[in-house]
Amino acid sequence: MNKMPFKIILTLSVLTHLVVQAQPAPTYSWTNLPKIAQPTFRKDTLNILTYGAKPDGITLNTKAINTAILACSQKGVALYLCRAVCG
C-alpha cells in the first residue's frame, strides 16, 4: 500500500485547520488607531547630548557618538541614547 496519498491528505487537513484558526487582522482607521507604548530607558542609559552631540541636523556628531560608545564600554553599559540626534 502506498502511503504517499495518506501523507498528502494529512498535510492538507492540518494546513486547512491552521488556516481556519487564523484570526483576521484588526481594521484600523483614524478613529481606531493601534495603541503605542511609550519607550522607557534604563537609568544607566547614556545620552550622547552630554558628550557634545548637537541635534541640529547639520553638525557631524561622529566624535560625540564615538565618545558615548567608548563611555558605554568603560562603564559596562550596553545602551546609549541617540534619539535626540538620530531621529
Tell me the pLDDT of the chain (87 aa) as tens digits. 566 666 677 676 766 666 555 567 778 888 888 888 887 767 777 788 888 888 888 989 899 888 888 888 888 776 666 655 554
Global model pTM greater than 0.75: no
Quick one: CA dihedral 65, 77, 45, 83, positive or negative?
A: positive
Give the CA distances from residue 26 to residues 4, 21, 29, 34, in Å, rounded to whole numbers and listed in that order.
39, 15, 10, 9
Grid cell listed for 31: 478613529
- Asked if the structure places residue 58 within a domain, the reply is yes
User: How many angstroms separate the CA atoms of 72 and 81, rounded?
Assistant: 11
Count the domains in the chain.
1
- Asked if the structure places residue 33 within a domain, the reply is no
- Asked if the structure places residue 22 within a domain, the reply is no
User: How many angstroms separate the CA atoms of 68 and 13, rounded?
Assistant: 56
Give the CA distances from residue 5 to residues 1, 19, 37, in Å, rounded to whole numbers and listed in that order.
10, 21, 49
- Asked if the structure places residue 35 within a domain, the reply is no
- Asked if the structure places residue 15 within a domain, the reply is no
Range of the domain at 56: 41-87
Q: What is residue 2's predicted lDDT score, i.e. its pLDDT?
A: 61
